[in-house]
């Protein structure tokens, strides 16, 4: 069997994980139907002290599908979700798919121009939006000049406990829009009350596009990654197959348990990481899912998240390093019982090893780093999910049915030797169909090697002698320091080891006399109550980093600019720095 020759199978591949899987040939919404058929009375969504069962959410999804069909939505049409993590989200997501539509998930923090672009580019004809003083008016303004003819306004009141809903309405505490555009507006509660609980009879194929997720905004105009039902179904099964716990690490069954888990929805579901690993995986396992619209809410920030983790006894916590740092650095973290958490993944940004160790000390959980992209549904790599075999600083091994190659940066066709850096490329059933309506851009990021289709990730890294992949950095964020390549992640990982540093981000700043040559600048957030000087940090770095990697400047900041998913936006730091110094990019 050819696959057995791959390096990553030979050393620390989990003995419990199969290398090849058989995937069900069905649409992604079959997960909801199966869970409702088998465990219909089980709680599904948990929100503000109220819950909805699997049967209730399926009923909502079926009615939404029926409503969309009545509005002329047919197979292949696009339906947009402009929603945070509220209980409406799974009902609308699966309802749109049951109507045969392609779902487009949009960041609810987008401004008018950003949302307008996605609605135009995708050709969406319907939008579901949260009833809110900001989100709803933004939506109405953004649909101008688009094909949208249907706006469904979703109030959180629909999913609150009855007493809280009545009291909140009376006191004006339930968010709502200042006005509604009568010609296009429908209300979620009316849709559910007036629509039949039967979806239209639409034949959905596994290779149909289920989801358009926009990506690439960090480097240019966003592109819509077209993910099929098969892509998403495959990735859920791949990840489930991979996660196997060890009794040496944690007192828990070796596999994540159907019905028994509580998935904490701290990551946004409009993003592939939160959508696949929390909402879809939770649905697949008939689990409870905690809906958290804003994980940073509370005073101090993230207090509400800690309360939810304790109250609902969360067991599965998929997160990003910024949120893990927020938990361990929260001034009151020791007042909360977080011992119910058992399995944690980290992705979307590099996980500093010191941060992982501190989080495990605070919770007793097992935390492992993985990797993926919007274009890959998203997961392609995960570390072994035990403390013995995982490697901090690496993204792990390719998951079942996934092949990884390190290719030369120039052409993307030549495979690099073990230990040498190049662009990471992946092939597998989770890799997208292509970019929505962008054949040229699609062609640029794919290579056919040995009869297999490989996606060029844009990330630079190498494979070690046990098949683990280590990322150096983004292809576009390498720092050219005197002809030598410095990688921000490596420098940031070193800075995180400083006992006073909570967060750090590194950029390359062009020298005025030679813009092609750069020096390293670090932006540092200190831990609460700590003080330090730039010289102190610079001196500390001397014994840990080579000269060309060492920061030449340190700037202390209150916070770092983060995307909604928790990625540090280095491009914003770099832009401000160049503007300040009068340097043209």
* pLDDT value of position 168: 64
Q: Which residues of the chain register pLDDT less than 70?
A: 1-4, 163, 165-172, 216-221, 473-476, 482-485, 513-516, 564, 585
Phi/psi region, residue 329 (left: phi>0; alpha: psi -120 to 50; beta: rest), is alpha
List of E strands, 183-237: 185-187, 209-215, 223-228
Question: What is the spatial distance between Cα 71 and Cα 150, in angstroms, rounded to a whole number?
Answer: 8
* pLDDT value of position 322: 83
* pLDDT value of position 167: 59
Does the residue 364 lie in any domain? no
Question: What is the spatial distance between Cα 23 and Cα 228, in angstroms, rounded to a whole number?
Answer: 13
Largest Cα–Cα separation, the chain: 70
408 in Cβ contact with 414 (< 8 Å): yes
Does the residue 131 lie in any domain? yes
Residue 396 DSSP label: B
Does the residue 415 lie in any domain? no
Report pLDDT digits (tens) over 472-506: 766 667 787 766 667 787 788 889 889 999 999 99
Number of domains in the chain: 2
Domain endpoint, select from 184, 204, 224: 204
Give the length of the chain: 585
Does the residue 328 lie in any domain? no
Q: Of 63, 71, 58, 70, which Cα lies nearest the Cα of 29?
A: 58
Does the residue 189 lie in any domain? yes
* pLDDT value of position 319: 93
Question: What is the spatial distance between Cα 168 and Cα 437, in angstroms, rounded to a whole number?
Answer: 44
* pLDDT value of position 568: 84
227 in Cβ contact with 210 (< 8 Å): yes
Does the residue 271 lie in any domain? no
Domain endpoint, select from 204, 220, 252: 204
* pLDDT value of position 56: 98
345 in Cβ contact with 328 (< 8 Å): no
Phi/psi region, residue 30 (left: phi>0; alpha: psi -120 to 50; beta: rest), is alpha
Report pLDDT digits (tens) over 333-376: 999 999 999 999 998 777 888 899 999 999 999 999 999 999 99
Q: Of 568, 574, 531, which Cα lies nearest the Cα of 553?
A: 574
Burial 58-97 (b: 16+ CB within 10 A, else e): bbbbbbbbbbbbebebeeebbbbbbbbbbbbbbbbbbbbb
Query: How many C-beta atoms surround the C-beta of residue 133 within 10 A?
Result: 11
**CATH code for the domain in which residue 193 is found:** 3.40.50.980
Rounded to the nearest 5 degrees, what angle is found at the Cα of 534, between the Cα atoms of 529 and 536?
80
* pLDDT value of position 109: 87
**CATH code for the domain in which residue 577 is found:** 3.30.300.30
Domain endpoint, select from 204, 227, 258: 204
54 Cβ contact partners less than 8 Å away, ≥ 6 residues apart: 32, 35, 36, 39, 40, 41, 42, 44, 286
Does the residue 269 lie in any domain? no
> Residue 575 sits in which domain range?
478-581
Does the residue 134 lie in any domain? yes
* pLDDT value of position 511: 81
Burial of 16 (0-12, 13-18, 19+ CB in 10 A): middle
């Amino acid at each position: 069997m050819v696959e057995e020759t791959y390096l990553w199978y030979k050393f620390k591949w989990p003995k419990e994980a199969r290398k090849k899987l058989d995937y069900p040939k069905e649409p992604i919404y079959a997960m909801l139907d199966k869970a409702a058929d088998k465990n219909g009375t089980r709680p599904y969504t948990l929100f503000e002290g109220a819950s909805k069962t699997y049967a209730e959410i399926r009923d909502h999804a079926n009615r939404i599908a029926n409503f969309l069909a009545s509005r002329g939505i047919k197979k292949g049409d696009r339906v947009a979700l402009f929603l945070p993590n509220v209980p409406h989200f799974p009902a609308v997501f699966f309802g749109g798919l049951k109507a045969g539509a392609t779902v487009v998930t949009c960041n609810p923090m987008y401004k008018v121009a950003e949302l307008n672009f996605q609605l135009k580019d995708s050709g969406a004809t319907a939008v579901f939006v949260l009833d809110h003083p900001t989100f709803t008016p933004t939506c109405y303004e953004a649909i101008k000049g688009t094909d949208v003819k249907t706006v469904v306004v979703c109030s959180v009141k629909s999913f609150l406990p009855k007493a809280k809903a009545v009291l909140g309405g009376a006191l004006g505490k339930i968010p709502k829009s200042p006005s509604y555009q009568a010609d296009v507006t429908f209300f979620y509660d009316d849709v559910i009350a007036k629509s039949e609980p039967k979806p239209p009879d639409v034949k959905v194929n596994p290779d149909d596009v289920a989801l358009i997720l926009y990506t690439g905004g960090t480097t240019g105009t966003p592109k819509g990654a077209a993910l099929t039902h098969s892509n998403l179904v495959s990735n859920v099964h791949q990840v489930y197959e991979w996660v196997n716990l060890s009794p040496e690490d944690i007192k828990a069954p070796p596999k994540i348990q159907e019905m028994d888990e509580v998935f904490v929805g701290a990551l946004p579901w409009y993003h592939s990481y939160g959508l696949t690993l929390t909402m879809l995986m939770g649905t697949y396992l008939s689990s409870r899912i905690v809906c958290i619209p804003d994980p940073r809410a509370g005073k101090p920030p993230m207090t509400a998240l800690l309360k939810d983790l304790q109250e609902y006894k969360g067991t599965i916590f998929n997160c990003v390093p910024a949120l893990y740092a927020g938990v361990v650095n929260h001034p009151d973290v020791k007042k909360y019982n977080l011992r119910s958490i058992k399995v944690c993944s980290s992705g979307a940004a590099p996980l500093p090893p010191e941060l992982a160790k501190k989080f495990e000390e605070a919770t007793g959980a097992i935390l492992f780093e993985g990797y993926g992209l919007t274009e890959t549904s998203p997961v392609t790599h995960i570390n072994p999910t035990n403390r013995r075999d995982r490697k901090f600083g690496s993204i792990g091994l390719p998951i079942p049915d996934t092949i990884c190659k390190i290719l030369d940066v120039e052409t993307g066709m030549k495979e690099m030797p073990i230990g040498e850096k190049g662009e990471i490329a992946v092939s597998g059933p989770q890799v997208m169909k292509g970019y929505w309506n962008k054949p040229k851009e699609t062609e640029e990021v794919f290579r056919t090697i040995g009869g297999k289709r490989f996606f060029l990730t844009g990330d630079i890294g190498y494979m070690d002698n046990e098949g683990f992949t280590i990322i150096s950095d983004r292809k576009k964020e390498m720092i050219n320091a005197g002809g030598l390549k410095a990688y921000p992640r490596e420098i940031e990982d070193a800075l995180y080891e400083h006992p006073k540093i909570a967060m750090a981000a590194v950029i390359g700043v062009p020298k005025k006399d030679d813009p092609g040559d750069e020096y390293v600048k670090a932006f540092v957030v200190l831990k609460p109550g700590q003080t330090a000087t730039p010289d102190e940090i610079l001196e500390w770095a001397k014994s840990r980093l080579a000269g060309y990697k060492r920061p030449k400047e340190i700037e202390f900041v209150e916070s770092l600019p983060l995307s909604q998913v928790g990625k540090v936006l280095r491009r914003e730091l770099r832009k401000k720095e160049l503007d300040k110094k009068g340097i043209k990019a």
